[in-house]
Amino acid sequence: MCGTCGAHGTQAPLSVGGTRIVIVGKGGVGKSTVTALLARLFARGGARVIAIDADEQRNLGATLGVDLETLAATVPVSAAGDYVEEKTGARPGEGAGGMLRLNPDTADIVDRLSVAGPDGVRLLVMGGVQHAGGGCLCPENALLAAAIAGMRLRHHEVILMDTHAGVEHFGRALARGFDSAVVVVEPTYNAAQVGVETARLARELGIEDVHLVVNRARGRADCERVLAHIELLGGFTFSTIHTLPFDDKVLETEPSVEDLLDDSEIARAATVLSQRLLAGDHADDLVVAR
């Protein structure tokens, strides 16, 4: 069954407890870059970070700076047939119309399927359909949803999930149980439209802490343009609104964010975002886009 300045270094201070953060938005707006920057910043600040790549394109590992040899040896959840069957009762591609265990014991998924990345970040890759007609991903989705919901975070632990384009992960409830959502947009109407839709779905799933990130902004006018689009789309109340500047260094150093971390405009801006994500109560910082 399917049921605030960045002038004091680029490290994120830790909150008193663990947190789960999902990164959402339209394809191509820079979700993987934002996820990788946050993961590395949190880890450098002393957090135990688990970065989940739930995008079928599987770009997060390279963006984090995981070496090619390790990436080549990484086994995605969708390819770990024995593990998926052990936990859910169905092998990858065989879930359509079948009976699945939707509450499998996944306490060992990070130990068995994740790989180590820079700064101690653990990378867990979801994967996707590997061949045309490859079948239903219900077993893998059930497993990942149960794994995320079942992770009992200790102090100074952070889960970040990079999602694929659009809103399908909300339909599959993969984002259920997350504490915060980061909605990434670029300064275009189409990106703002998807951003508002994902923000509303996040709230429907019970995620109250929803942040807007205007990525690749060339100035204040780009942020104002996005807010004007959001107003036309009916408005949305975000916990905070952030701007990440267009930075040529991102293209010069891609795919990894490694060389951005020590001295770049985007890393300094991402540090502010990381601090606000772990700040707890945002009541005094409420920003309303209407």
* Tens-digit pLDDT profile for residues 232-248: 999 999 999 999 999 99
The residue written with tokens 């989940």 in the block is: 52
Residue 118 has what DSSP assignment? G
Bridge-partner residues for 54, per DSSP?
Answer: 163
* Long-range contacts, 258-264 (Cβ 8 Å, 24+): 258/65, 258/118, 260/37, 261/10, 261/37, 261/40, 261/41, 261/44, 262/10
Name the percent of the chain lying above pLDDT 90. 51
Q: How far apart are CA 270 and CA 242, in angstroms?
A: 9
More confident residue, 137 or 43: 43
Q: Which residue has the higher pLDDT, 134 or 23?
A: 23
Q: Going by DSSP bridges, is the β-strand pair 115-116/209-217 parallel, antiparallel, or unpaired?
A: unpaired
Structure confidence at residue 178 (pLDDT): 86
Least confident of 94-103, 150-159, 217-226, 243-252: 94-103
In this predicted structure, the answer to whether residue 12 has a pLDDT above a threshold of 60 is no
Report the pLDDT value the prediction gives residue 142, as an integer from 0 to 100: 67
DSSP three-state, residue 217: strand
**How far is 125 from 127, CA to CA, in rounded Å?**
6
Mean pLDDT of the chain: 81
- The answer to whether 191 and 30 are in contact (CB under 8 A) is no
> Looking at the predicted structure, is the pLDDT value of residue 123 above 90?
yes
Q: In the structure encoding, which two tokens stand for residue 160, read together?
A: 């970040």
Highest mean pLDDT among 30-39, 71-80, 162-171: 30-39
CA distance 199 to 209: 10
Residue 221 has pLDDT above 70, yes or no: yes
Question: What is the pTM (predicted TM-score) of this model?
Answer: 0.83
For residue 83, what pLDDT is reported?
Answer: 80
Say what the pLDDT of residue 7 is. 34
Give the chain's length: 290
DSSP letter for 149, please. H
- At 260 the pLDDT is 96
Q: How confident is the model at residue 86 (pLDDT cuts 50, 70, 90)?
A: confident
**How confident is the model over 135-194, as pLDDT tens digits?**
455 666 667 776 776 666 777 889 999 987 766 656 555 677 788 999 999 999 999 999
How far apart (Å, rounded) are the C-alpha atoms in residues 22 and 85?
26
Sheet containing 209-217, strands listed edge to edge, beginning at the edge strand earlier in sequence: 115-116, 122-125, 48-54, 157-163, 19-25, 180-185, 209-217, 240-245
Beta-strand ranges (E) seen in the chain are 19-25, 48-54, 115-116, 122-125, 157-163, 180-185, 209-217, 236-238, 240-245, 287-289
